[in-house]
Amino acid sequence: MTAPRARAARRDRRAILTGLAWTSPWLFGASLFMFLPMALSLWYSFTDYPLIEEPIWTGTSNYARMPDDPTFRRVVWNTAVYSAISIPACTVLSLVLAALLSMRIRLARFFQACIFVPTLVPLVASAMVWMWLFNGEFGLINRLLALVGVRGPTWLVDQQWVLPSLVVMSLWSVGQSVVIYIAAIHEVPRQLYEAAVLDGMSPLRRFFHVTLPMISPAILFNVIVMLINTVQIFAVPYVMFKRPDGQNPAGHFYTMYLYENAFVYGQMGYACAMAWLQLLVILALTAVMFIGGRRLVYYRGG
């Protein structure tokens, strides 16, 4: 090896060691608190682990048990239906609000703040407020419906209305998505709108043919974030639909059943298997969105 190449190799080694030294706190913390627990949970998912005894290897029995578990099938269905309704509803509402607030209207900043503030409220506090709003006897929503002659349902008890009430509540927290969409809309080049006006496009057509394609990366980002959050929904239904005899079946979701298996029923192995299945499903759905995004999402300069 020649002298210049040896000096270059030493510089590269020093650069690598310097980088490892600077990132070592993160590497240590991530290894101890993320990668090691993940590896242990993967191991536990193949065991019978009641927490107070040593885990016993059972192979894939925890995974094979899931299709025959009626509660598992129910929570999967509830979570899937809620995600399938909530994500499109929140996306449409966010886009409409962002488009309206991006127009030159008075007090736009004030309305943006009003829409964003609910996202700062803790989930449990929000759930308590909505429990009062949805109360079948004293709730504000049913009182308003009574003014127009409509008898409101028992939102928190009737199994047919549990999921709709949760979807309505999910619209309460669209503020973060609205802020991102407003920022994306402001980045759309003005020349495109000017050209669309010269072509005689109406405001609605400009929104569909100019705005939406140009902010499609932001839409993809928000949909993925909402997917991750909805699949892991826990705190709000746990507070709103808890009954003296247990959870309302219509308000029972995947992560809640995972938690109950781990810390209520003492079936940590089964809970770990559910956690890994949940992770794989989220990764698969995210990958599908990215693959679909290659045809539907427009990246400037890409």
Structure confidence at residue 4 (pLDDT): 78
Structure confidence at residue 283 (pLDDT): 96
Mean pLDDT, the chain, as a whole number?
91
The region of weakest confidence among 38-42, 57-61, 109-113, 219-223 is 109-113
Structure confidence at residue 301 (pLDDT): 66
Cβ atoms within 10 A of the Cβ of 72, count? Answer: 19
Segment 277-294 mean pLDDT:
94
- This prediction's pTM: 0.88
Task: Give the pLDDT confidence of 187-226 residue by residue, as tens digits.
Answer: 999 999 999 999 889 989 999 999 999 999 999 999 999 9
Secondary element (H or E) of residue 140: helix 140-147
Half-sphere exposure of 250 (CA within 13 A, CB side): 14
> Which amino acid is residue 176, in one-letter code?
Q
Reading the block at residue 81, the tokens are 């239906």
Structure confidence at residue 52 (pLDDT): 85
- The SS3 assignment for 92 reads helix
Cα–Cα distance between 185 and 178 in angstroms, integer?
A: 10
Cβ atoms within 10 A of the Cβ of 163, count? Answer: 17
Among 78, 85, 86, residue whose Cα is nearest residue 171 = 86
Task: Give the pLDDT confidence of 257-285 residue by residue, as tens digits.
Answer: 999 999 999 999 999 999 999 999 999 99
Task: Give the pLDDT confidence of 160-184 residue by residue, as tens digits.
Answer: 999 999 999 999 889 999 999 999 9
Structure confidence at residue 48 (pLDDT): 94
Q: What is the dihedral of CA 39, 43, 284, 169, to 10 degrees?
A: -90
pLDDT at residue 36 is higher than 80? yes
Cβ burial 194-229 (10 Å sphere, 16+ → b, else e) = eebeeeebeeeebbeebbbebbbebbbbbbbebbee
pLDDT at residue 115 is higher than 80? yes
Express as a percent the part of the chain with pLDDT over 70: 99
Select the more confidently predicted residue: 8 or 273. 273
Secondary element (H or E) of residue 56: strand 56-57
The CA–CA distances, whole Å, from 123 to 89, 116, 131, 235, 239 equal 19, 14, 12, 7, 9
pLDDT at residue 300 is higher than 80? no
Segment 285-300 mean pLDDT:
88
The CA–CA distances, whole Å, from 102 to 96, 97, 124, 183 equal 10, 8, 31, 9
Structure confidence at residue 302 (pLDDT): 59
Cα–Cα distance between 181 and 217 in angstroms, integer?
A: 10
Band the pLDDT of 62: cuts 50, 70, 90. very high
Structure confidence at residue 88 (pLDDT): 96
Are the CB atoms for 223 and 289 separated by under 8 Å?
yes
Band the pLDDT of 109: cuts 50, 70, 90. confident
Structure confidence at residue 1 (pLDDT): 55
pLDDT at residue 230 is higher than 90? yes
Cα–Cα distance between 157 and 162 in angstroms, integer?
A: 7
How many residues does the structure list for the chain?
A: 302
Segment 54-75 mean pLDDT:
95
Which burial class, exposed, middle or buried, applies to 185 when counting CB atoms under 10 A from its CB (0-12, 13-18, 19+)? buried
Are the CB atoms for 299 and 217 separated by under 8 Å?
yes
Cα–Cα distance between 111 and 102 in angstroms, integer?
A: 11
One-character DSSP codes across 237-265: HHHHTEETTEE-GGG--HHHHHHHHHHTS
